[in-house]
Structure 1
Amino acid sequence: MEPLKHPEDRFARDVTMPLEPEEHLTQLDLLRSFFSSDPKSILDLGCGAGRLLRPLRETGHRVVGLDHDERALAWAAQACGTRDELVQQDLRDATQPFLNGPFDAALLLGNTLMELVSPAEVLGLLHRLEACLSDEGVLIIEDIPGLYWPLLSSGQWGDGEAEGIRMVWSDRDMIFSLREGEAVQDDSPLHPDEPLRRLWSESLLQTVLHQAGWESSPGEHPLLRVARPVRSVRS
């Protein structure tokens, strides 16, 4: 197994620590507080190398980790000391249900929501999650509009290069790509084969939630936002 730390390896960096270190610690504290009453059954979607999975397991929760990448899961197993309840599955695959439930909560954190570019993908994800959550189960996401729209409106996010990263935006939608390394010199429009992200607006997020029969509103901290199925719709 190759080592986890690759300073120049963007994939290794992203699956290990997709947030700034201080944001990670804050988010982990928020989750520990949210789950403080008793042990929970949790589904970590896009668990990566176990950034949240390992400390939540150590706190006494049952956490099932799901990721599409075998390399990330191998690192998560290495961190946890076991491959048990680590599932290789693409959360975008609408044909695959989420097994091993019911879950008290599902986590979609580490900016994973932004990697779901298509609203239809998120709509399908919410329907599949509803089927695997307990009666009071919730989905926990980051408040993407609250975290990142202020950066856009203040001019900190825009086309161009800064600190070795080039941000390239679509001219038709709130979709962008981050180019690093040799690609940072490429200022051409978005390529169809490069990884894309969506800067979710509050209005689009609410539209998709409503279509799925879910509800959510910004919480006290943008690193933890709770969404839940509308109970009358579920019954």
Structure 2
Amino acid sequence: MDATVKPAARGISMPKNHPFADRWNHNSQQYPRVAELIADCPLVLDVGCGEGTLARYLAEQGHQVVGIDPDSRVLPDDGENTHFMIGDATGLPFADDSFDAVVAVMVLHQTRLELALVEMRRVLRPGGLLVDVGYARNKGIGERLRSAADIPGDLVARIGATRWEPDTIKMDALQGWSETRDAIQGILPGASWERISGWRYLSVWRHP
């Protein structure tokens, strides 16, 4: 990963200090970290934006955000610095080099991962960031043990939080953690990849 990309410090974000304490789930838990990573990226594409919570949050931080999702039921109306549209991750309706950052949260396991990554890479400007938060299926004892290690931290992180689940499409992952990592790094050479809290991974790639 480019040395200028500095992930947030590891650890548990306590809900009482978290901007999504009243809308807490394993995705919103990571939204501040996503925002920190793309702080210097003016124009952002949120792939698989769902009902727009992340997109609106990024807009509040000063970004111009385009959200795209195939589920018309949940797409919100446009708002200040946000524009939402129907579309699919495997065929993004944008020209090459259109965005300073592309973010995707819990998207790749629900689509054709390789095609989606190629499309997100295509619309990203040179020097831009691709930030992907996702999860995978436990395959093998090592992956099961690693996922079990998330349980204590998750119990602590929920203290004082209000559980929230938006009405968005949810699918189980088919690929394992190492399979997902290898697929991402095969298409995005040099991408970082790490397991983070809440049974998620974080991958960051800077377009050369």
Shorter chain as denominator, the TM-score bin is 0.5 to 0.7
Q: Which residue among 211, 214, 217 is the counterpart of 2:189?
A: 214
What is the number of residues matched between the two proteins?
163
| Shift of residue 82, structure 1, vs aligned partner | 6.5
Q: Which residue in the other structure is 1:129 paired with?
A: 120
Amino acid at match of 1:51: T
**Do the aligned partners of 2:67 and 2:82 also contact (CA within 8 Å) in 1?**
no
Within 5 Å, give how 1:11-22 maps onto structure 2. Answer: 21-22=24-25
**Structure 2: which 5+ residue stretches go unaligned?**
1-19, 149-169
**Do the aligned partners of 1:130 and 1:229 also contact (CA within 8 Å) in 2?**
no
Q: Which residue among 201, 204, 207 is the counterpart of 1:227?
A: 204
TM-score where L is the length of structure 1: 0.55
Q: Which residue in the other structure is 1:198 paired with?
A: 173
| Overall identity of the aligned pairs, in % | 22
Are 1:40 and 2:42 an aligned pair?
A: yes
CA distance in structure 2 between the partners assigned to 1:40 and 1:224 by the alignment = 24
CA distance in structure 2 between the partners assigned to 1:84 and 1:143 by the alignment = 23
**Do the aligned partners of 2:41 and 2:63 also contact (CA within 8 Å) in 1?**
yes
Q: 1:151-197 CA distances to partner (integer Å, 9 max, x unpaired)? A: 9725x99xxxxxxxxxxxxxxxxxxxxxxxxxxxxxxxxxxxxx853
Give the aligned CA root-mean-square deviation in angstroms: 3.7
CA distance in structure 2 between the partners assigned to 1:230 and 1:99 by the alignment = 16
| Shift of residue 72, structure 1, vs aligned partner | 1.4
TM-score where L is the length of structure 2: 0.61
Q: Which residue in the other structure is 2:90 paired with?
A: 92
CA distance in structure 2 between the partners assigned to 1:202 and 1:83 by the alignment = 35
Are 1:115 and 2:115 an aligned pair?
A: no
The higher radius of gyration belongs to 1
Q: 1:102-161 CA distances to partner (integer Å, 9 max, x unpaired)? A: 21221110x222212xxxx2222222222210111222122525x96799725x99xxxx
Q: 1:53-104 CA distances to partner (integer Å, 9 max, x unpaired)? A: 111111110110001122211xx21xx54696312112234xx543495212
CA distance in structure 1 between the partners assigned to 2:142 and 2:79 by the alignment = 39
Name the CA shift for 1:24/1:215 in 2 (closer, same or farther; >3 Å). Answer: same
CA distance in structure 2 between the partners assigned to 1:55 and 1:21 by the alignment = 14
